Structure 1
Amino acid sequence: MNPSAATILSSAQLDDKGHAQLQALLSAYTALSEADKHRQKGSHVSQAFAVCFPHHSVAPGASGYESQRRKPWSTNCWLQPQVIVSPSSAPQVATALALCRFFHVPFSIRGGGRLQIPGFTSNEGGVVISLSQCNQVELSDDKSVARIGVGLRWLEVYRRLEAHGLVVAGGRVPEVGVSGLLLGGGISFQNSQYGLGAMNVCNYEVVLADARIVHANAHENSDLFWALKGGGPNYGIVTRMDMRTIPNQIWAAVQIYPPTASEQLLDALMHYHEAIETDNKATLIWNATPQFILIVFVYCAPVERPTVFAPFDEIPPVATFVPAGVRSVYDLVQAVAAVNEAEPSLHEFRTMSSRPDINVYRAIQKAHAEQAEALKEVEGLTLTAVIQPMSSLAMQVSANSPLGLEMVGQQWFLARADWKHAHDAERVRQAVRSMVDAAEAAAREHGVYLPYKYSNYAARDQNPLASYGERNVRRLGEIARVYDPDAVFQVLQNGGWLLADVGV
């Protein structure tokens, strides 16, 4: 059931003039025939948002529209919405959502970061609710909790916490946004000690479909609290996440190796998998292109030359991207951000998981080389194989979530492509699919395959929510029906990892 005009008028924060304008608009639209509503909906939607958000709403042709339309990271997500609105508080988000429901217009929720799937953060002819103005970072009196606006990117979060000598278990890539990362679970530097990023959220502020603003934590709406730790945008619009703060001093290094060292590096990687089963402070990120292998080493304590990384010490790098040393998380992420951002590109991700296995890694390496050779004439192409080792310790401290993680050491593989022209998209997507298919085939052959698919690494056709397991999916659906009985987020929301697409 859509909200009435009276409900919207009572909640909208308008002066007398704005109130009268909005009342006239809503009344005029209500009086139209269904055919006229269909023809005139776009005009009425634009006018209503302009009245309610005079300085934070743009429509096609307006100053600032093009720059907002082109905000998404991947150029295939530069769509043509009817309105892009940037509310700055939960009550304003509630008004924006109520207007979408009143006009029955599709909407997309856009956080602060990046996502490569068309329709998830924008749409054609609907409304984009951009959370970029939800950008606060506030510490509790005892500095144990950081209240973080979901429109921020992680580099900015870390910058604001740096002065206090604190950090949170958030993202590792500077331009990744707060909400997208954490609503998908969220890999952090501190996985083994504190769990995935979502496990460190102690409270969510959420705008529900009926425009109520609620908090979800261990004591209030605890079922919703559980669901949001990986359940995506199925329950409401999260406007703030409160996260426990943790110490900021780490040891880190980023080294670049030649492809000729790959066998030595894979051997070291298998030893590393064993070592992190008894050391909960280490993180390693493996990024391979046809030209080099870049490895990020992080130890979440100020310890020089941690022994957990010793298997790599005998392999000489060809370059050092970040020198080994004790630093803050902000310093490390800032060093990554200092690299010039490439020109706007198209992007494709695809993922799979398995227990650690050298045969899977060799299959990835072989398929990676074959696909890179097959696509060598594609302009601007970078084809990357990313391996994320995850310990059983990380799984254990992330167990109270909907993700359905198995309590074993594992790796989450990401095949990633970045390229320039849309006409190459199908070939590139097929190459990425072939890399993951090869990894899955090897994993099944050697008995190490795991069904889990990390949603932030998933391709548009992979349906990661289904990988959480039947029991968890059923519970996620039951919780969604409690907080969104009219299925607004399944029907009107334009995209995202939705329970409706899992058949719930």
Structure 2
Amino acid sequence: MSPSASLPELLGFLQLAAPAQGVVEAALSAFASLSEAEQESARATTIAQVFPQVFGESAVVEGSSSYEAHRTQPWSTNCWLAPTVIVNPSSSTEVAQVLALAQFLRCKFSVRGGGHLQNPGFNSNEGGIVISMSKFTQLVVADDKSTVDVGLGLRWLDVYQGLEPHGITVAGGRVPPVGVPGLLLGGGLSFQNSEYGLGCTNVIEYEVVLADSSVVRATQQENPDLFWALKGGGPNFGVVTKMIMQAIPNKVWSEGRVYAGPQNFQLLDALMKYHEIIEKDNKATLIWYTLNQVTLIVFFYCAPVETPDAFKPFYDIPFLQNVVPPSCRTVSEMCQAIANVMAADQQYHDMRTMSSLPSLEVYQAAENARLEQVEALKDIEGADLTMVFQPMASSAIKAGELRGGNPMGLKAENHQWLLVLADYKKIEHEERVRESVRKIVDAAETTAKANGTYLPFKYSNYASRDQDPLASYGAENLQKLKDLAVKYDPQGIFQTLQSGGWLVSKAGTAQ
């Protein structure tokens, strides 16, 4: 239906039974009769009246008994905002109805999958509507086990555990509580990057509810431009209600080692050798987490091969303990082991990212800056800094090119993505903590620019609120994304009413 649909058209689309029809018609009619200023004052009250009538218990209104539990779902406490209603639709039709009501009422909306983002406003808002995908929990394996319809209300540990009995898996997220849609719409690092590419590379079909409430499919054959845009282009084109992913083998080898902090510079030497190895062995993936005092490295190999040679540069470096014993196992078992290690309290979070070609000098600069900032924050109880180096093989980029491409503008070359993550407990420490995060990334960027290894790409799922990841895709790709946003949302609903997210209307405008 048209974004400027009349009240009778909207009521017909909602298909309500009496007496809900009468209540909704009266509330919306009264709202429509108000001046713009009066509507601003009446909007929250009208939302609270209308949504329970249309969606029943699936609409959780501010002040209700279950509201607080829904409001505090996001991972980062700085994203615990106060929307007027959190609605949990269970079908694409209901999502379309939510969008139609949001447009009639001209109210802000946010779309929430797992809520695992640290930027306020990206998965909630103040006074508007949150569209939670929590009821989209299907996990449907094709008869030939070649594809999986992955529910967008699931988290990745749920997905892997659900696929375990089928003997298959998918190239999804590596942090157990991360939700399905946000990871994949931002690109999606997977355990199997080198062989199968980013998670989005392995999506073969999307279902999308557009701003006009129509439901479309996007594949390499049907709406291929939208298919391309959704692989890293974020929430700019509609609400994705289905993703069908390619199934892949589930037998792997993995190990997780914890090293003492003083070993980090020796580990960085090994990391440079590993960069060379993954250009010859596309089954190896390494996950590097440097915490305040220790470094956790997870070695992952996409085949049940004991002690793969790909990780040989690391094997002789002394370590403190195996938190994930070396073994052939399934992805589900691997993800559960990580969940046991990485459990954390609810806290405030901040992230920041950059990328470069492999460079020992860049890595050492980042590590030296991290050590300085750990010292600078030691008077703040609970302030933790985590640094992640993510080596990316050229094969990871080539895999995406073979399956319709994506808008991220990455060359098929060996490189790395750096993440600095901060956890802290009190909002009054936000400015200091964010400044420390910025100093670490700035040190890496400055060194990379000086030695010629700097890359402009910024991974959107790692980016801080003041960074501009869509602009880092390159001017041509950003313009194409903007054009496609206009094509699929000509009224700009997702740019003007959507509360946050990496929106093309804001990309390229940072000073």
Do they superpose with TM above 0.5?
yes
Q: 1:49 aligns with which of 45, 48, 51?
A: 51
Query: Residue 485 of structure 1 aligns with which residue?
Result: 490
Q: 1:13 Cα deviation (Å)?
A: 4.6
Q: 1:451 aligns with which of 446, 450, 456?
A: 456
**Deviations 1:106-164 (CA, angstroms, capped at 9, x unpaired):** 11111124100001111111111111111111112212110112111100011111110
**Deviations 1:48-85 (CA, angstroms, capped at 9, x unpaired):** 11111111112221111111111111111111111111
Q: 1:402 Cα deviation (Å)?
A: 0.2
Structure 2: state its 5+ residue gaps.
none
Q: 1:237 aligns with which of 233, 236, 239?
A: 239
Query: Residue 15 of structure 1 aligns with which residue?
Result: 17
Matched-pair contact (CA < 8 Å) for 1:113–1:178: no
Paired AA for residue 500 in structure 1: S
State the SS of the aligned residue for 1:464: coil
Matched-pair contact (CA < 8 Å) for 1:255–1:317: yes
Q: Distance in 2 between matches of 1:87 and 1:110?
A: 11
State the SS of the aligned residue for 1:55: helix
Q: 1:419 Cα deviation (Å)?
A: 0.8
Query: Residue 382 of structure 2 aligns with which residue?
Result: 380
Query: Residue 291 of structure 2 aligns with which residue?
Result: 289
Deviates more, 1:421-430 or 1:144-153: 144-153
Query: Residue 118 of structure 2 aligns with which residue?
Result: 116
Deviates more, 1:321-330 or 1:262-271: 262-271
Q: Relative to 1, partners in 2 of residues 1:64 and 1:432: Cα closer, same or farther, differing over 3 Å?
A: same
Runs of 4+ in 1 over 4 A off after TM superposition: none
State the SS of the aligned residue for 1:280: coil
Q: Distance in 1 between matches of 2:37 and 2:481?
A: 37
Q: Relative to 1, partners in 2 of residues 1:391 and 1:464: Cα closer, same or farther, differing over 3 Å?
A: same
Q: 1:346 aligns with which of 348, 362, 366?
A: 348
Q: Distance in 1 between matches of 2:152 and 2:89?
A: 12
Q: 2:441 aligns with which of 423, 436, 440?
A: 436
Q: Relative to 1, partners in 2 of residues 1:288 and 1:35: Cα closer, same or farther, differing over 3 Å?
A: closer
Q: 1:347 Cα deviation (Å)?
A: 0.3
Q: Relative to 1, partners in 2 of residues 1:404 and 1:340: Cα closer, same or farther, differing over 3 Å?
A: closer
Q: Distance in 2 between matches of 1:89 and 1:391?
A: 38
Query: Residue 79 of structure 2 aligns with which residue?
Result: 77
Q: 1:338 Cα deviation (Å)?
A: 2.4
State the SS of the aligned residue for 1:98: helix
Q: Distance in 1 between matches of 2:315 and 2:263?
A: 13
Structure 1: state its 5+ residue gaps.
none
Q: Distance in 1 between matches of 2:271 and 2:132?
A: 40
Q: Distance in 1 between matches of 2:333 and 2:392?
A: 24
* Residue 472 (1) aligns with residue 493 (2): no
Matched-pair contact (CA < 8 Å) for 2:74–2:114: no
* Residue 415 (1) aligns with residue 447 (2): no
Q: Relative to 1, partners in 2 of residues 1:49 and 1:358: Cα closer, same or farther, differing over 3 Å?
A: same
State the SS of the aligned residue for 2:5: coil
Query: Residue 155 of structure 2 aligns with which residue?
Result: 153
Q: Distance in 2 between matches of 1:468 and 1:496?
A: 16
Q: Distance in 2 between matches of 1:450 and 1:398?
A: 19
Q: Distance in 1 between matches of 2:261 and 2:189?
A: 26
Matched-pair contact (CA < 8 Å) for 1:82–1:124: yes
Q: 1:220 Cα deviation (Å)?
A: 1.2
Query: Residue 98 of structure 1 aligns with which residue?
Result: 100
Matched-pair contact (CA < 8 Å) for 2:185–2:230: yes
Query: Residue 194 of structure 1 aligns with which residue?
Result: 196
* Residue 355 (1) aligns with residue 357 (2): yes
Q: Distance in 2 between matches of 1:365 and 1:210?
A: 49
Matched-pair contact (CA < 8 Å) for 2:445–2:454: yes
Q: Distance in 1 between matches of 2:58 and 2:343?
A: 27
State the SS of the aligned residue for 2:244: strand
Structure 2 counterparts to residues 213-228 of structure 1, below 5 A = 213-228=215-230
**Deviations 1:295-314 (CA, angstroms, capped at 9, x unpaired):** 00000011111101011111
Q: Distance in 1 between matches of 2:239 and 2:320?
A: 46
Query: How many equivalent residue pairs?
Result: 504
Q: 1:64 aligns with which of 49, 66, 86?
A: 66
Query: Residue 410 of structure 2 aligns with which residue?
Result: 405
RMSD: 1.2
Q: Distance in 2 between matches of 1:7 and 1:341?
A: 49
State the SS of the aligned residue for 1:218: coil
Q: Distance in 2 between matches of 1:275 and 1:186?
A: 23
Matched-pair contact (CA < 8 Å) for 1:349–1:417: yes
Query: Residue 309 of structure 2 aligns with which residue?
Result: 307
Deviates more, 1:487-496 or 1:311-320: 311-320
Matched-pair contact (CA < 8 Å) for 1:113–1:175: no
Q: Relative to 1, partners in 2 of residues 1:38 and 1:113: Cα closer, same or farther, differing over 3 Å?
A: closer
Query: Residue 322 of structure 1 aligns with which residue?
Result: 324
State the SS of the aligned residue for 2:318: coil
Q: 1:263 Cα deviation (Å)?
A: 2.4
Q: 1:396 aligns with which of 395, 398, 422?
A: 398
Paired AA for residue 148 in structure 2: A
State the SS of the aligned residue for 1:16: coil
Structure 2 counterparts to residues 159-174 of structure 1, below 5 A = 159-174=161-176
Q: Relative to 1, partners in 2 of residues 1:309 and 1:469: Cα closer, same or farther, differing over 3 Å?
A: same
State the SS of the aligned residue for 2:382: coil
Q: Distance in 2 between matches of 1:485 and 1:241?
A: 24
Matched-pair contact (CA < 8 Å) for 1:379–1:421: no
Q: Distance in 2 between matches of 1:33 and 1:481?
A: 29
Matched-pair contact (CA < 8 Å) for 2:113–2:133: yes
How high is the TM-score relative to the length of structure 2?
A: 0.97
Q: Distance in 2 between matches of 1:153 and 1:476?
A: 27
**Deviations 1:373-392 (CA, angstroms, capped at 9, x unpaired):** 00001111111110000011
Paired AA for residue 360 in structure 2: I
Deviates more, 1:37-46 or 1:154-163: 37-46
Q: Distance in 2 between matches of 1:111 and 1:16?
A: 32
Matched-pair contact (CA < 8 Å) for 1:113–1:153: no
Q: 1:503 Cα deviation (Å)?
A: 5.1
Q: 1:21 Cα deviation (Å)?
A: 2.3
Q: 1:2 Cα deviation (Å)?
A: 2.7
State the SS of the aligned residue for 2:358: coil
State the SS of the aligned residue for 2:177: coil
Matched-pair contact (CA < 8 Å) for 1:80–1:124: yes
How high is the TM-score relative to the length of structure 1?
A: 0.98
